[in-house]
Amino acid sequence: MDSSPELQRFLEQEKQNMMMKELVGKLTSICWDKCITSAPGSKFSSGESTCLTNCTQRYLDMTMIIAKRLQM
């Protein structure tokens, strides 16, 4: 298999992309479970919308806080 530097760079980028996608997937699950507590409708209620936005933002805040902590 070709192990050129270009391929290495490409694979590293792919790894980053995959990690990002995993985080998005995880966040979707977590906030879905937290906020969608009854049978889903033909659109999100305003309560559900608010909860989902808050959940996403707080979770991302938390990952930043933890990342900063680990750098110290």
Partner 1 sequence: MDASGVNPRLLALIEEEKRKVIANEIIAKLTDTCWDKCITGSIGSSFSNSEVACLSNCAARFAELKMHIMQQFQKR
Rounded-to-integer distance, Cα 14 and Cα 28, Å: 21
Residue 31: exposure state from Cβ atoms within 10 A (0-12, 13-18, ≥19): buried
Rounded-to-integer distance, Cα 72 and Cα 59, Å: 21
Q: Does 10 bind partner 1 (CB under 8 A)?
A: yes
Size of the site for partner 1 (CB under 8 A): 30
Which 43-72 positions form the footprint of partner 1 (CB under 8 A)? Answer: 43-44, 52-53, 56-57, 60
Name the residues that contact partner 1, by CB under 8 A: 2, 4, 6-7, 9-10, 13-14, 17, 20, 23-25, 27-29, 31-32, 36, 39-44, 52-53, 56-57, 60
